[in-house]
Amino acid sequence: MGRLLETPDRAVVNGLVQFGRFAKPFRELNLLDARCGTPRLCGLRQLRLKEWVHFALIHPDWYLSMAVVDAGFMATSWLHLFDRRNRKAFEHTHKLPPWKFRAPANVLNHSAEFETRGYRVSVHNHVANHMHLLQIEVGAQRSLPPVSGTVTLHEDPARTQPLVAMLPLAPNRPMFTHKSACPVSGSLEIAGQKVEFAPSRDAGLLDYHKAYYPRQTFWRWATFATIDSSGNLLGVNLTHNVIKDDEQLNENCIWHGNSLSLVGAARFDIPKNPMQPWRIRTTDGAVELELAPQGLRHERVNLVLAGSAYNQPYGLYSGTLTDSAGRKRIVDKAFGIAEDHTATW
């Protein structure tokens, strides 16, 4: 399925997007310079660019999903927590007008903060120092408990190779993602309970994303990360979306230790009831997985000119992964996420 390319300094050169899957982040992620069919006049190009950072943290007792999203016309953030032992979930969600939030400009060394009354989350991507820092200060709200603390995802090249992909949604219309599976350290206080993250045991997933999605779009997504019995990271990222030739370019990979194997197009067998098992495979046979959901995030947004609908189950993955060297690994109840999302924006 190809190899990782050397990364040019700039993502867009003379208006042309540099497509491919790369070994390192871009120094300048200048997607606003892309000649993608949307004019720069009056900020229209910035309005069309959809940006977010999503963290997933996996602990034996807790799963946490946190995102900050700049959709152009609106900013939103959520903090979703799932008590894995008691199978109970709660979520803090807030929205802001677009001028109140901007997503981090890059992953090398850039921060963003989403703040409103009783809710503050701060993200500092600092790949130059091998880390992503997440700080949370969220107060109690009605029946929702408070959450606070600081955690660090350690994106050290000695432990993990990130997926850095610039993919064509249409000719010269880019979708950029930087995804990584990383050991996690730090602690959170959740409803008065202290939760400690140990990098020898606990894994986190980063999804840093910028894209000029078409007005009507969809994606299906599956990912997990775990620390295996030998102390190495094991995980996947799999997506099926509006990219027409996803056999040639996609964001599908297997992580094991500090190696990354590029794999074929991903295909999803999604049940009508999203809490039933999901089946995910790649067309080259490298991935055969089943997700047994334990919990579900879902949302329906209906605005006059925009909207979205998604189901995001999370639970236990089982199956097999075969890396680019032909080594097969068994996946036995690794905790992860899936998503079925459609949007008009």
On the question of pLDDT at 43 being above 90, the answer is no
What CA–CA distance (Å, rounded) separates 152 from 140? 23
Q: Residue 333 sits in which domain range?
A: 12-344
pLDDT digits (tens, 9 = 90+) for 297-322: 998 777 656 778 989 999 999 999 99
Does residue 42 form part of some domain?
yes
- The contacts found for 167-171 with CB under 8 angstroms, 24 or more apart, are 167/19, 167/243, 167/249, 167/250, 167/251, 168/17, 168/19, 168/243, 168/249, 169/211, 169/212, 169/213, 169/214, 169/242, 169/243, 170/36, 170/37, 170/214
- Within a 10 A sphere around the Cβ of 56, how many other Cβ atoms? 25
CA atoms within 13 A of residue 289's CA, in its CB half-sphere: 36
Does residue 232 form part of some domain?
yes
Give the start-end residues of each E strand in 171-215.
173-190, 193-197, 203-211
What CA–CA distance (Å, rounded) separates 221 from 125? 23
**For the residues 116-128, what does the mean pLDDT come to?**
97
Lowest mean pLDDT among 84-93, 152-161, 201-210: 152-161
Model pLDDT, residue 300: 79
Of residues 151 and 214, more confidently modeled = 151
Does residue 65 form part of some domain?
yes
pLDDT digits (tens, 9 = 90+) for 64-103: 999 999 988 889 999 999 999 999 999 999 999 989 999 9
Does residue 250 form part of some domain?
yes
Does residue 48 form part of some domain?
yes
Does residue 37 form part of some domain?
yes
Does residue 3 form part of some domain?
no
What's the CA dihedral at 75, 78, 22, 342 to 10 degrees?
Answer: -80
Nearest alpha carbon to residue 238 among 273, 201, 279, 203 = 279
Q: How far is CA 228 from the centre of its chain?
A: 21
Look at the chain and report how many structural domains it folds into: 1
Q: Where are the alpha helices (DSSP H) in the chain?
A: 44-48
Model pLDDT, residue 157: 87
Model pLDDT, residue 197: 98
Does residue 258 form part of some domain?
yes
Give CA angle at 76 (70, 78), nearest 5°: 130
pLDDT digits (tens, 9 = 90+) for 278-291: 999 999 999 999 99
Nearest alpha carbon to residue 295 among 53, 86, 22 = 86
What CA–CA distance (Å, rounded) separates 163 from 175? 13
pLDDT digits (tens, 9 = 90+) for 241-290: 999 999 999 999 999 999 999 999 999 999 999 999 999 999 999 999 99
